[in-house]
Amino acid sequence: MNRHLKFGIEEEYFITDLQTRCMPEQPSLAAVQACRVELGEHFAHEMFQSQVEMASPIFQSLPEAAEYLNQVRTGLNQCLAPHGLGLLSAGSHPMTTQVLQPTDELHFQQLFDDYQRVARRSVLSGLHVHVEVPVDRDRVRVMNEVLPWLPMLLALSASSPFWNGAYSGFSSYRQVACDEWPRMGVPEFFKDEAAFASYVGMLMRTGSIHQPSDCWWVIRPSSRYPTLELRICDACPRIEDVLCIVSLFRLMVAHAVAQPGPGDNYSLMSHWILKENRWRAKRHGSLAEFIAEGQEQPMLMGEWLTLAEQTFGETAAQLGVEDVFTQARRIVQEGTSADRQVVLYEQGLLLGDSIEEALGRVVDQLLAETAGMPVADPTLQQVAGGP
């Protein structure tokens, strides 16, 4: 029998100047301090001073998480508003092109020293989800059971079509930028947690990394908590999308934990297909055609969701989260954040906007969605996404 697994959420946000619609090079100390006080122990710095990270408490249920996320976003916006600033949640900021001030902490200084321009241009925000794995289960075997489904979660979260003030042609340019870093893509092929520990130990002994958490893969066994940490997803402007992705990942982990031999079917072919599907997800998002192992005919996102429902449906029923598949289909039908951003941008250009003005429309929409305010949804033609 499956049980509800405890989980936690980390969200990274861009602080945005409401007048220029760009990220300030260095927000006022008063604004940052107000955010720190608002979040208390759940506040964390990011690489740049114009970013804020929230690391949630441990949750037992999705309603708990929903209430907390709404509280956090409302509180941070109230802290920033007196300073002419707002909160923006997306994988990349559509308009920021200037050099930003790094955060003055030893950990981040080390990153900038080690990775130079790769670090300086890494103005990215992600959604990370921790889900507990019982101590009697091998986390890497559980990870291997879940791995083939991660491109689906990336596609649903995609929210970074713009980079450095221009349209990138990708649904998740954040994942493109992540590939400039070592150990930030698909994890190496590990049979179990012992093999994983051996690899990380070798990296430590050879001076390749400073600490185990310098392995930043799209998913990893946490070095701090007894969890699997999902890292592939872009930050999402809409809380309902966050909750859908959290629920799907939690469901996948619960299903894997309940298997007698999780990860037994994960092979080199699975690994290769995962890499290809990740590429397709970051390029085309939910409009991509994906590969299922053992099938030569690519499938649309709607078909992949049907396969997910067939695979995880029994576990979802036991946990009472059957509606998560309906929520995922809603994202596909309405368009991901990346889809909505691109449509709004193109509409602005058709109306005679300059590129900067069209990008300003996108920023305004993202600010509104992050704040939970209603926005006028542009009409999306989601033909390729399937049913």
pLDDT-based confidence at residue 338 (cuts at 50, 70, 90): very high
- Token code pair at residue 85: 């600033």
pLDDT for residue 166: 96
pLDDT at position 311 over 80: yes
- Site of tokens 């760009």: 22
**Mean pLDDT score across all residues of the chain:** 94
pLDDT at position 297 over 90: no
pLDDT for residue 2: 63
pLDDT for residue 385: 41
Segment 238-292, tens digit of pLDDT = 999 999 999 999 999 999 999 999 999 999 999 999 999 999 999 999 999 999 9
7 C-beta neighbours (distance < 10 Å), count? 25
Segment 74-123, tens digit of pLDDT = 999 999 999 999 999 999 999 987 678 888 888 888 888 888 988 888 89
pLDDT at position 381 over 60: no
Q: How far apart are CA 318 and CA 4, in angstroms?
A: 9
Higher pLDDT, 266 or 46: 266
Say if residues 93 and 362 touch (Cβ distance below 8 Å).
no
Say if residues 115 and 1 touch (Cβ distance below 8 Å).
no
Largest interatomic CA distance in the chain? 61
Q: What is the CA radius of gyration of the chain?
A: 20
Higher pLDDT, 252 or 48: 252
What whole-number percentage of the chain has pLDDT above 90? Answer: 85
pLDDT at position 387 over 60: no
Q: How far apart are CA 114 and CA 122, in angstroms?
A: 13
pLDDT for residue 376: 66
Model pTM?
Answer: 0.94
Say if residues 325 and 309 touch (Cβ distance below 8 Å).
yes
Higher pLDDT, 161 or 181: 161
pLDDT at position 60 over 60: yes
List residues bridging with 160 in a β-sheet.
172
Contacts of 364 (CB under 8 A, 6+ apart): 21
Domains identified in the chain and CATH numbers: 7-370 (3.30.590.20)
pLDDT for residue 386: 42
Distances (CA, A) of 311 to 12, 145, 251, 308: 31, 12, 11, 5
pLDDT at position 218 over 50: yes
- Token code pair at residue 272: 């290769």
Per-residue H/E/C for the chain: CCCCCCEEEEEEEEEEECCCCCCCCCCCHHHHHHHHHHHHHHEEECCECCEEEEECCCECCHHHHHHHHHHHHHHHHHHHHHHCEEEECCCCCCCCCCCCCECCCHHHHHHHHHHHHHHHCCCCCEEEEEEECCCCCCHHHHHHHHHHHHHHHHHHHCCECEECCEECCCCEHHHHHHCCCCCCCCCCCCCCHHHHHHHHHHHHHCCCCCCHHHCCCCEEECCCCCEEEEEEEECCCCHHHHHHHHHHHHHHHHHHHHCCCCCCCCCHHHHHHHHHHHHHHHHHHHHCEECCCCCCCCEEHHHHHHHHHHHHHHHHHHHCCCCHHHHHHHHHHHCCHHHHHHHHHHHHHHCCCCHHHHHHHHHHHHHHHHCCCCCCCCCCCCCCCCC
pLDDT-based confidence at residue 310 (cuts at 50, 70, 90): very high
Closest CA to 342 of 160, 173, 176, 164: 160
pLDDT for residue 377: 55
Segment 303-330 mean pLDDT: 97
Segment 24-38 mean pLDDT: 94
Segment 219-251, tens digit of pLDDT = 999 999 999 999 999 999 999 999 999 999 999
